[in-house]
Structure 1
Amino acid sequence: MTSRRADLVLAFVVGVPLFSLSVVVAVLSVPGVRAALLVGACLVAHVAVVYRREFWAFFVVAAAFAVQVAVTGLFLVLPSAAVFPLALYSCAAYGRRYPALVVGMVGAGVAAARFATDSSVSAAGLGPDPWLLFGLLAAVMVAAWGLGLYRRTQLAYIELLRERAREAAAQATAAERARIAREMHDVVAHALTVIVAQARGGRFAPARAVEILATVEEAGRSALAEMRAALSVLRTPGLADLPELVERTRGAGLPVRQIVRGTARPLGPGTDLVAYRVVQEALTNTLKHAGPGASSMVLLEWTDDALHIAASDAGGSAAVAAGSGEPGNGLAGMRERVNAVGGVVDIRVEEAGGFVVEARLPYRR
């Protein structure tokens, strides 16, 4: 239900009984034209409730009851007077804070003075004391104003939560885009590296053309499968897929030795993916930069509190990496991945030659 429709329902539910009673009281209490003025003022006040969230609606209600004060000091007996605190509350909640309170306090003072000086009140000997009446009206005004401020604070807090939710959604979208971009880089870079390595080897070994083309085909199929998984967010590779990665790398011409120590423990999906990508990026860099006769070693060590991964090579990658000036996108992405799951990574060149990637991934994520 929209705000305007809700206010229309409120005006109808409140207005029908209060306005009906006010008409009866006005007709029975004052004669002729004065009764018509009172009825008209009540009708205007009730209609203005439909627009109670607008700043001007409060002053329409205030003017309507000013007419009642001018017509008779007995205006308090009209049930429609309950609309004024509602309008004051609405103005404080949705409009401006202080004008509503000022008008309400002034109205309480004028009403009390009018009550005290009204001839019909004096002739009938009606109470209460004007100061007591002013205190009662002022208390009602302050209570309505305070409730309006409370509602205003609620609305501000709700809007703050919505803004934070929008910001969180935008950040999550950006993070997901960055994750998918890293996934695409890792998948495509590794697959193309295998394909390029095979094509390069095929130029010098035509007799192995069938075998090389089969490896290229397998690398392409695997890349497509991983790309579908990354884009659909249905499945991402993990350590369970590491043997296939190692075999694929061996098929590309790089000897890889895999060592596993300790007892494997369950990893969260995020950490499992990061572990796979660390090994994949290390092997990809070796395929790209290592010279002829290079080899690689992958160590997975399950310690008491973390998984330790070490991927090293013996070949020409050290010289290439050292001369590159700064790490490429793959290594920078690797650091981001590892840091995101609370791990640490060390990428260095050994003095004896060779490139080493070491990562420590805690079990808690």
Structure 2
Amino acid sequence: MIEFQMPSLGADMEDGTLVEWKKKPGDKVKRGDIIAEVETQKGLIEIEVFDEGTIQELLIKEGTKIPVGTVMAIINPSEVTLEAKEEKTPESKPIEIQPIEEKIIVKKEKIKQKASPLARRIAEENKIDITTLKGTGPEGAVSKEDVELAIANQQPTEKAISPSDSIRSAVAAAMSKSNKEIPHYYLIKNIDISKALNWLKEINSHKPVKNRLLPIVLFIKATAKALVEFPDLNAVWENGIIQKKEINIGLVVSLKKGGIVVPAIHQVNLKSIDEIMETLNDLIPRARALKLRSSELSDSTITLTNIGDNGADAVFGIIYPPQVAIVGFGSITEQPIAENGMIGIKSCVTVTLAGDHRATDGLTGSRFLVALNYQLQNPELL
């Protein structure tokens, strides 16, 4: 029997939080397989197995904070692993083959109902007694679907939807993959948007309060118009760059209980700023309620993230694969700007671009930011 422990990923690491099991009881594993994803101060880390065998039991629930050295899972070793252990040098302690079958039987007697870790967590969160459920999984184990069915039967009326851990895990996994596989380059440009804000103020003065425009619509529209000139940034990387015909900007939306979703605003270049505002008024509430359509979660061709008011001056995004770029807008701040030999106070925003160096380079990215600046200096063209 092999005790799989929470590994140390550096001298400064004391613990980590189990985000997701990538294997389940009964799965065979070999050296190098990923058994779990653990979130640490260094980010989302994929945890590898260094032995070969079959997973007997997962001991830790997803979402649990685990100190380094904690036993996370029990693995029944294969013959290959046993032979490797026996061939160790005399300095290593020989492995003692315990009566594994006997121990397994004892553990089974203590388990009232088999269930996946995810099913147990969902059941606990919704106060479902998992021992009363009939499992449809392997060997009668209760699955996530079994628990969800029980919840639906208990609560036939419409219930509020809370942020999903699965979405958070999916985004985290994508960001981890992005950091490992995409060679990012970063550019930054400080843009004076005083003229754009004054133009927006004038436009809003003729609109009822509920129809007034926010600065974000100018950022979205200006980004779309600049992308028309630089289609290599409105693309995906799939064994090579593939330009997208539609400009579907994925907007990062924060969830009230943590995490983000990135729904797409379709064909932004064909929408007026009023239509973009209408789309946002519909899209953002649905995103926070997790009531998005599949196309809104899958069609983005580039991502835009906006810190909003009273936040950081700049945001350096991580590209959401398979996209090849993300544009970040910081908070709008008043800054001293030199113009025609005179210093004046202007409303400015710091814009960043993270690009995939396989698809574009710094020259393309820099020219894109110049084009974006031009659009914001001429808001009447938007």
Same fold (TM over 0.5): no
Structure having the larger proportion of residues in helix: 1
TM-score range, shorter chain: under 0.3
The structure having more radius of gyration, on CA atoms, is 1
